[in-house]
């Protein structure tokens, strides 16, 4: 009898604990990006305690805009880059790049080609092992004449350690509820524990999915490659300049753009305005003529 009386009390404590655990798990943000295990250099991760909770997807950790050189041992880093290269033959350069990717142990995540001789272009998203990142960027630049390059690195070591800790705690919680579920004696206890077990398993699966995404991004870097033909116009987005001169330059560009836009609108409306002006002038002329005619008639009558 005492065992049956204590079991509901223990179940209630588990439910309260699960609610607290769920609120903590909800604080871990989802991870965006292309799915990947291992640290940047394939080395083991640092197992120190996390200094702060995991932040929003791929936004955790520090971000550097300078070009990374090589993976840092003991840290989990995410490498990304964009590079634009002008080549003589886009198709040939793209095929050469595909062979380079295979040799480096990576793969093509996305590809788009334009074969028009006047606008020949290939946009290829490359995923390669992070340890090959720096050298692979140089090999891409060697395909032709480099026009633009930008890269950044994010340190997600603390976020991964935090996820590892949460996953371990959640697995222990799932096992605890599973053991109680196996010992449940009443239908009410079975239903309550089954619901709690399902919720905790779902939370565990969510944490594990976030961990797999981060591991994937750490293991394989992402490079967006644009191969442009000899006659292809290249448009590169400039980074905003926070200085006074940068603001002045941006303001002047906005002013010029506004004037050009206004001129374009005026040029578009001018034919319509001209077409409307003709009937308006006719109506105005007719009204004025009719107003002057009675005056002339009266003047003639008075004279006679």
pLDDT in tens, the chain (304 residues): 444 445 555 555 555 555 444 444 444 434 333 333 333 333 333 333 333 333 333 333 333 444 454 455 678 999 999 999 999 999 999 999 999 999 999 999 999 998 887 889 999 999 999 999 999 999 999 999 999 999 999 999 999 999 999 999 999 999 999 999 889 889 998 899 999 999 999 999 999 999 999 999 999 999 999 999 988 887 766 555 667 776 777 787 788 878 888 888 988 888 888 888 888 888 887 887 777 766 555 555 565 5
Q: Is residue 124 domain-resident?
A: yes
- pTM of the predicted model over 0.75: no
Q: In a 10 Å sphere around its CB, with 0-12 CB exposed, 13-18 middle and 19+ buried, how is residue 109 labelled?
A: middle
Same domain, 24 and 165: yes
- What pLDDT shows up at residue 42? 39
Q: How much is the pLDDT for 238?
A: 59
Domain assignment present for 83: yes
- Per the structure, the count of domains in the chain is 3
Residue with tokens 């050469």: 96
Question: Is 56 part of a structural domain of the chain?
Answer: no
Same structural domain for residues 112 and 254? no
Using only the alpha carbons of the chain, give its radius of gyration.
35
| Co-location of 135 and 8 in the same domain | no
Q: Which domain holds residue 275?
A: 245-304
Residue 38 sits at the vertex; the CA angle it makes with 33 and 39, to the nearest 5 degrees, is 85
């Amino acid at each position: 009898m005492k065992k049956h009386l204590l079991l509901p009390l223990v179940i209630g404590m588990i439910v309260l604990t699960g609610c607290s655990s769920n609120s903590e798990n909800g604080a871990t943000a989802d991870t965006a990006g292309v799915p990947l295990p291992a640290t940047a250099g394939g080395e083991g991760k640092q197992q120190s305690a996390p200094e702060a909770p995991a932040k929003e997807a791929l936004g955790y950790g520090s971000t550097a805009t300078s070009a990374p050189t090589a993976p840092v041992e003991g840290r989990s880093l995410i490498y990304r880059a964009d590079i634009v290269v002008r080549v003589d033959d886009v198709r040939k350069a793209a095929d050469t790049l595909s062979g380079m990717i295979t040799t480096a142990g990576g793969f093509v995540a996305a590809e788009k080609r334009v074969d028009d001789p006047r606008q020949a272009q290939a946009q290829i998203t490359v995923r390669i092992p992070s340890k090959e990142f720096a050298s692979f960027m140089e090999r891409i630049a060697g395909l032709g004449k480099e026009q633009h390059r930008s890269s950044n690195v994010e340190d997600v070591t603390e976020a991964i350690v935090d996820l590892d800790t949460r996953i371990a705690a959640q697995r222990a919680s799932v096992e605890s509820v599973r053991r109680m579920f196996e010992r449940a004696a009443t239908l009410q206890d079975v239903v309550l524990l089954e619901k709690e077990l399902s919720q905790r398993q779902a939370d565990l699966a969510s944490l594990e999915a976030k961990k797999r995404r981060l591991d994937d991004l750490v293991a394989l870097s992402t490079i967006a490659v644009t191969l442009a033909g000899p006659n292809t116009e290249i448009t590169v987005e400039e980074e905003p300049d926070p200085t006074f001169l940068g603001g002045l330059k941006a303001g002047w560009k906005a002013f010029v753009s506004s004037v050009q836009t206004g001129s374009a609108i005026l040029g578009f409306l001018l034919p319509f305005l001209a077409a409307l002006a003709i009937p308006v002038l006719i109506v105005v002329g007719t009204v004025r003529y009719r107003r002057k005619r009675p005056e002339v008639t009266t003047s003639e009558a008075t004279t006679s």
